[in-house]
Amino acid sequence: MNAPTTPLPIVVLLSGSGTTLQALLDEIRAGTLNVEIKAVISDQPDAPGLGRAEDAGVETCALLPGDYPEHQAFDRALASCIDKFKPKYIVLAGYMRILSESFVERYAGKILNIHPSLLPRFRGLNTYARVLDAGDPEHGSSVHFVTAKLDGGPLIMQARVAVLPQDTEESLSARVKEQERKMYPAVLNMLAAGRLEMKDGQTWLDQQALEQPMEHPL
Ligand code: GAR
């Protein structure tokens, strides 16, 4: 039997309810996710996700954008806060603030995001309303490496969900989030095992460039 590898140290950034974070915390507690969340950081001091982290005994930190003269200054403070915890990766879990180019460059290849659409369809906000308006037969979620292009970094894995005739934003988002709760841990376990990296603007899995994102479930 292989010796278990050391848990991958990460910092999670979030802005909202933190159900994505909760899925990671639950899997860590169950022993099925080989990462250690060193800290959870938010740009929203009252984000319920911070409470979930505290309940799990994870350190938290909130930075108020209004306390900084401009975007770059906020992101510099964010970077100093992150660096104190020495993470190997930064995991965005519903972090709704755009990261500055200099921040993304500083952590090139070390930031992951989960976005509720089948990228490159529907970058940005309100993806559920937009997919319903467009009448697409399917929707879903994508995990990708973060680059300076908003929701435009190399894709790692996608989960697909059929759009049903009676769907509302709420019913569709519930089904997508159910997939996200399993897909993000699956990707993070691959990262922890050293199987994934971003190189030359592409996702590499097991030393091979990925032509297409992996499909969840695998
Ligand atoms: C998740 O569904 C995630 O895909 C989305 O925010 C939600 C966070 O939910 N991320 C984005 O929209 C990023 N552009 P949560 O606060 O309950 O974890």
What is the tens place of the pLDDT at every residue in 88-127?
999 999 999 999 999 999 999 999 999 999 999 999 999 9
Closest C-alpha among 67, 75, 118, 111 to residue 93? 111
User: To test the ligand 1 pocket, which listed residue (177, 181, 183, 187) has its Cβ within 8 A of the most ligand atoms?
Assistant: 177
Question: What's the CA gap between 206 and 187, in Å, rounded?
Answer: 13
Cα dihedral 195, 53, 44, 91 in deg (nearest 10) = 0
Give the ligand 1 atom nearest the CA of 47: 16
Give the ligand 1 atom nearest the CA of 16: 16
Q: Which residues, 6+ apart, have CB-to-CB distance to 43 below 8 Å?
A: 13, 15, 62, 63, 64, 65, 74, 78, 95, 96, 97
| One-letter amino acid for residue 69 of the chain | P
Cα of 115 vs centre of ligand 1, distance in Å, is 7
Cα of 20 vs centre of ligand 1, distance in Å, is 7
Q: What is the pLDDT of residue 218?
A: 82
Catalytic residue from among 115, 139, 144, 216: 115
Q: What is the pLDDT of residue 1?
A: 46
For ligand 1, atom 12, name the residue with the nearest CA.
115
User: To test the ligand 1 pocket, which listed residue (115, 142, 170, 176) has its Cβ within 8 A of the most ligand atoms?
Assistant: 115
Q: Which CATH architecture best describes the domain 8-123+140-160+177-216? A: 3-Layer(aba) Sandwich (3.40)
Buried b (16+ CB within 10 A) or exposed e, 4-15: eeeebbbbbbbb
Residues in the chain: 218
Give the ligand 1 atom nearest the CA of 176: 2
Average pLDDT, the chain: 97
Give the ligand 1 atom nearest the CA of 116: 4
What pTM did the predictor assign? 0.97
Contacts 24+ apart (CB under 8 A), 137-142: 137/162, 137/163, 138/162, 138/163, 139/163, 139/172, 139/176, 140/116, 140/176, 140/179, 141/114, 141/115, 141/116, 141/117, 141/176, 141/179, 141/180, 141/183, 142/114, 142/115, 142/117, 142/118, 142/213
Q: Where are the beta strands (DSSP E) in the chain?
A: 8-14, 35-42, 59-62, 89-92, 111-115, 138-145, 155-162, 196-199, 202-205, 208-209, 214-216
Q: Give me the half-sphere count of Cα atoms (radius 13 Å) on the Cβ side of residue 57.
A: 4
- Beta-bridge partner residues of 85: none
Cα of 15 vs centre of ligand 1, distance in Å, is 9
Residue 197 — very low, low, confident or very high, per pLDDT cuts 50/70/90?
Answer: very high
For ligand 1, atom 14, name the residue with the nearest CA.
115
71 is catalytic: no
> pLDDT digit string (tens) for 120-163?
999 999 999 999 999 999 999 999 999 999 999 999 999 999 99
